[in-house]
Amino acid sequence: MLQAGRCFYCRGPLGARPEADHFIPRVRCGVDAVENLVLADRVCNNDKRDLLPGPPLVAAWARRNEHHGGRLAQLAKASRWDTDPEAASAVARSIYSHLPKGGTPLWLGIGSVGKEDPATVLAALAAAGRPHGRLLVLPGSKLWHVFGTEGRHERSTAGINRTRG
């Protein structure tokens, strides 16, 4: 998936059995869209587990989704997978903006966990320049509903946002 046969995390060769990893871990969000998936080798995938990725990885992920959004959408369509770049970016923004500063371990690579300031991650996301969806988390549920992005909102008539999720 746009990775030239290399692991998204360590850039080593993926080998014969790459694994699809939820970049923002599934326990943190329910976004199955292709934009939240990366291919990783087993070592990285096992080491990352349910940890949130750290700033450099988030920057690389945001850039991938920004620069290869069209290709990702094509791949998703061809494999009948869900595509939702706004949800992926909005969920990431929401999660990192609610992390206590220096209080959450972030995965930086194999064997490397740090407690970087989540603000660094938010800056990386902002730099990628995606329009951000508005996010509503229903209390007591894992459902995330993303209402239309600003861009879509502008195009819609009567300002009615489409509900998804």
Residues forming the site for Zn ion (CB under 5 A): 7, 9-10, 41, 44
Q: How far is the CB of 153 from Zn ion (least distance, A)?
A: 38
Closer Cβ to Zn ion, 10 or 75, answer by number: 10
- In the complex with Zn ion, the residue whose CB is nearer, 41 or 84, is 41
Which is nearer to Zn ion, 57 or 146 (by Cβ)? 57
Alpha-carbon distance of 115 to 149, in angstroms, equals 31
Shortest distance, position 15 Cβ to Zn ion, whole Å: 10
Sequence-distant contacts of 60-66: CB under 8 A, at least 24 apart: 60/8, 61/8, 61/23, 62/89, 62/92, 62/124, 62/125, 62/127, 62/128, 62/130, 63/128, 64/2, 64/38, 65/35, 65/89, 65/128, 65/130, 66/128, 66/129, 66/130
CB atoms within 10 A of CB 155: 9
Decide whether 12 or 165 has the Cβ nearer to Zn ion.
12
**C-beta of 51: minimal distance to Zn ion in Å?**
14
Report, in Å, the least distance between residue 84 CB and Zn ion. 25
d(CA 96, CA 105): 12
